[in-house]
Amino acid sequence: ASVAAVLPAGGSGERLGGATPKQFCALLGRPLISYTVRALERINWISDIVVAVSLENIETMKSIIEKYGHKRITVVEGGMTRHRSIFNGLKIFPESKLSSCPLQKPEVVIIHDAVRPFVEEDTLLKVVLAAKEHGAAGAIRPLVSTVVASSADGSLDHSLERSRYRASEMPQAFLFDIIYQAYHQCTDYDLDYGTECLHLALKYCKTNAKLIEGSPDLWKVTYKWDLYAAESVIKDTLS
Ligand code: CTP
Ligand code: MG
């Protein structure tokens, strides 16, 4: 059965700072997003890869695709929030029958951040297989820090037992019909404030969501120093 991927890449990278959104920052001369696309493109069981970028970066993305010879990529316009970018990416499939876009609706869709360039096939396969079985699945990681809740005056209210909690990461995977329906049913509030696709699938489609212990390869570039770390990883492993 078919598997496609949607890469949200429409953010502006506020936490990283700087004029260029992090997905277009050069790592050893090559844009970060190109490494992520390459990681997915190398997997032959992923048919189409849809990248959602903001309007002003569509030409940049197209030139990256051409320069690095990326294949099976479709570029769509992103949205003001991550959810809106993902929704735009999903919409291209079913609507393809009406438009000139030749993409076929997949059975399973992977959602993966454009700024997680080191994701490995094993992790992707695990979330896809779990999504087929349960409807939805997402990678999780152990917490690095203990989570605390502060009271209104800024003092410690309580702290959570770290070993009982996990950080929700990417990739996630869904039966296409489930996540598509969830996005169609959800409210503007969800689209504007949330960041978690599993949550939407659970809330609107009452699906099961299987959590998969991921490996460190799905780590996300968020802050400036993550770029230096990513360059080092590329030097060591990819080049
Ligand atoms: N994203 C998106 N559309 C948005 C916002 C985010 O497609 N309107 C994408 C980002 O481009 C990124 C992924 O969602 O690939 C994960 O988001 P995050 O790490 O938060 O990236 P940014 O939102 O760009 O960064 P920041 O939150 O620091 O501004
Ligand atoms: Mg963000």
pLDDT in tens, 206-225: 899 999 999 999 999 999 99
| pLDDT confidence of residue 237 | 87
Residues 6 or more apart whose CB falls under 8 angstroms from that of 170 comprise: 111, 112, 113, 116, 119, 138, 139, 218, 220
Residue 120 binned pLDDT confidence (cut-offs 50, 70, 90): very high
Ligand 1 atom closest to 14 (CA): 29
Average pLDDT over residues 187-202: 91
ipTM: 0.99
CA 38 to centroid of ligand 1, rounded, Å:
19
Model confidence band, residue 88 (pLDDT cutoffs 50, 70, 90): very high
**Ligand 1 centroid, distance to 222 Cα (angstroms):** 9
Could you identify the atom of ligand 1 that is nearest to the CA of residue 115? 15
Residue 132, pLDDT > 80, answer yes
Mean residue pLDDT across the chain: 94
Q: Is pLDDT at 95 greater than 80 in this prediction?
A: no
Examine the pLDDT at 121 and tell me if it is beyond 70. yes
Decide: 36 in ligand 1 pocket, CB within 6 A: no
Could you tell me the distance, in angstroms and rounded to a whole number, from the CA of residue 144 to the centre of ligand 1?
Answer: 21
Round to whole Å and give the CA distance between 94 and 97: 6
**pLDDT (average), residues 150-171:** 96
Q: Cα 69 to the chain's mean position, in Å? A: 22
Q: How far is the CA of 134 from the centre of ligand 2 (A)?
A: 28
What's the pLDDT score for residue 130? 98
Q: Is the CB of 160 under 6 A from ligand 1?
A: no
Other beta carbons within 10 Å of 57: 22
Calculate the alpha carbon distances from 82 to 11, 41, 198 in Å: 7, 22, 13
In the predicted model, what is the mean pLDDT of residues 139-167? 96
Pairing of strands 46-53, 148-150: unpaired
Q: Is the CB of 186 under 6 A from ligand 1?
A: no
3-238 topology per CATH: Spore Coat Polysaccharide Biosynthesis Protein SpsA; Chain A (3.90.550)
pLDDT over 80 at 100, yes or no: no
- Average pLDDT (9-21) is 96
Output the pLDDT for position 174: 98
**Cα–Cα distances in angstroms (integers) from residue 113 to residues 7, 52, 165, 215, in the given order:** 5, 10, 22, 15
pLDDT of residue 36: 98
Q: Is residue 49's pLDDT more than 90?
A: yes
> Is the shortest distance between the CB of 52 and ligand 1 below 6 Å?
yes
β-strand pairing of 108-111 with 73-77: unpaired
Burial 205-235 (b: 16+ CB within 10 A, else e): bebebbbbebeebbbbbeeeebbeebbebbe
Reported confidence tier of residue 196, pLDDT bands at 50, 70, 90: confident
Residue 57 pLDDT level (bands cut at 50, 70, 90):
very high
pLDDT at 97 over 70: no
Mean pLDDT of 69-95: 94
| Domain limits, the chain | 3-238
What pLDDT was estimated at residue 103? 85
239 pLDDT above the threshold of 90: no
Pocket lining: 56 vs ligand 1, CB cutoff 6 Å:
no
pLDDT at 238 over 90: no
- 33 ligand 1 Cβ < 6 A: no
Is 20's C-beta closer than 6 angstroms to any atom of ligand 1? Answer: no
Nearest ligand to the CA of 111 is 1
